[in-house]
Amino acid sequence: MLHGTKRQLSRREFFGRSAGLAAAAWTLEQSQVLKAMPQAESMLGKVKIRDVQTATIQLNYPAHLVKITTEQGPFGIGEAFNGTGVLDNIGRLKRYVIGEDPLQVDYLLNRMLEGTSGHHGAYMRAVSGIETALWDLAGKILNVPVYVLLGGKFRDRLLVYHDTGSPRTADPKPWVEEALRSKDYGFKAMKFDLDWESRGQGVAGKPYQYRREVWNRSISAQEQRQWVRIIEEILKALGPGYDVAVDCHWEYNTRDALRLAQALEPLNLWFLEDPIPPDNPDAMARLAAATRTPIATGENLDTRGQFRPYVEKQACDIVQPDPQRCGGLLEAKRIADLADLYYITFACHNMCTPVGATAAGHACAAIRSFVALESDSIEIPWWKDIIVNDGGKFYRDGFLTLSGKPGFGVELNEDVAKAHLAPGTQWFR
């Protein structure tokens, strides 16, 4: 009897300790949520938006930062994809959020969408910039990283691929040099633009060296041989363990794009991006079904509505929404979740300052099907210094690691940012 009692006590002790360990593990895992509770109690419903302001940084293109200020002091920073009319639309949209509670992010997103008739183009880029800044502000109010508010993170580090410079030559040597520069920076994945003789060149009346003409979207046999050779040499120079993708910027017709995709199959390309225009999901589905080369698309699409036919027709292997133009961080996650129903993965298009890149990173961390985040503009010496940093690389060893600080965890370096304002623009007006 005594022995049985001892065994019973031992089991009780065992289960008690197990429960304690489980509780401790839960506490560690959920500590960021728990940390938000007292902050939420004191701030919930008490913060009101005062204004929405913009500042444009001149990279290789104008990058539009968005700042949301409040009557109570906290502010949020986001970024909108560049384009004509974006700033004007932000000015028109801010009346739908001023005076509102910034924690009601999805409600404010829909208020902006339903307040006017435009759901695409420059209007959607403006909406995306405001939505992104709202998330940063919400995270700061609640004292948690944005990825927590988006459902929590699936990963601690985000694979980043380098959107390289693309030499305008058929000689593989400069392309190999570009690949090795990416490798030296630390990238494990990279993308090249093989369409250096672009439609813009043809439309402007500048003569082609290899391409026959712009209007029929054709790829000549000579161009195809050159491109295959360039990728072969890049892969040989990099060695094993590197992922290489190709971007075609929606330049070509379906038949020639398919010939190219099939010619690249022996090289095990990571993906072929936008080989044909994005206006016809049936044509893209035909292409995707007829090649082993993975097809990626999506940077020109806004919202789940535009992505839906591509997903349902399985017209691509990878979706590529851009959070700064597709409707914001939550919409990017919703697009990824829709695609995941068909086991289509998500690679984040990204063309912005470190503010936008970090914001996109929070969505990527919270997306199950995420595979990679695009890099942009790292060749500009001061690009990483737009935000306060420790002097090191923004992307380290080919990955982005989020800080875990409230909001996006970034602080603008005002001296650097102000020194590179786009001509004719002002600092957060």
The domain that holds 124 is classified in CATH as 3.30.390.10
Residues 132 and 163 placed together within one structural domain of the fold: no
Examine the fold and report which residue of 129, 144, 159 is the final residue of a domain before the chain moves on.
Answer: 144
Indicate yes or no: pTM above 0.75. Answer: yes
* pLDDT (0 to 100) of residue 108: 97
Give the Cα separation of 79 and 15 in Å (integer): 50
**Residue 257 domain boundaries:** 149-402
Assess whether 154 and 132 both reside in one domain: no
In a domain, 392, yes or no: yes
- Kindly state the tokens that stand for 15: 């289960």
Q: Give residue 391's pLDDT.
A: 81
In this structure, the answer to whether residues 104 and 162 fall within a common structural domain is no
Contact (CB, 8 A) for 257 and 291: no
**In a domain? residue 19:** no
Statement to judge: residues 236 and 288 lie in one domain: yes
Report if residue 27 sits inside a domain.
Answer: no
State how far the Cα of 47 lies from the Cα of 227, in Å rounded to an integer: 55
What pLDDT does 37 receive?
56
Is 1 a member of any domain?
Answer: no
Same-domain pairing of 137 and 157? no
Q: Are residues 235 and 116 in the same domain?
A: no
Instruction: Identify the segments of the chain with pLDDT beneath 70.
Output: 1-42, 117-118
Q: Is residue 265 part of a domain?
A: yes
Pair (247, 363) in one structural domain: yes
Evaluate whether residue 24 is within a structural domain. Answer: no
Q: How far apart are CA 376 and CA 386, in angstroms?
A: 14
Span 56-97, pLDDT tens digits = 999 999 999 999 999 999 999 999 999 999 999 999 999 999
Distance of alpha carbon 350 from alpha carbon 373, whole angstroms: 7
Same domain, 319 and 394: yes
Check whether residue 245 and residue 179 sit in a common domain.
yes
DSSP structure string for 301-350:
--HHHHHHHHHHTT--SEE---TTTTT-HHHHHHHHHHHHTTT-EEEE--
Tell me: do 162 and 65 sit in the same domain.
no
Residue 187 lies in a domain: yes
Q: How many structural domains comprise the chain?
A: 2
Q: Are residues 253 and 326 in the same domain?
A: yes
Nearest to 82 by CA among 105, 93, 106, 66: 66
Predicted confidence at residue 39, as pLDDT, reads 59
Q: What does the pLDDT read at residue 45?
A: 78
HEC sequence for 160-187: EEEECCCCCCCCHHHHHHHHHHHHHHCC
* DSSP-assigned beta bridge partners for residue 191: 163, 245
Q: Which residues are CB-neighbours of 272 under 8 A, at least 6 positions away?
A: 245, 246, 248, 260, 261, 264, 293, 294, 295, 296
What pLDDT is recorded for position 165? 81
Residue 420, domain member (yes or no): no
Choose the final residue of a domain: 100, 117, 144: 144
Q: Are 123 and 211 within one domain?
A: no
Residue 332: give its domain's CATH number.
3.20.20.120
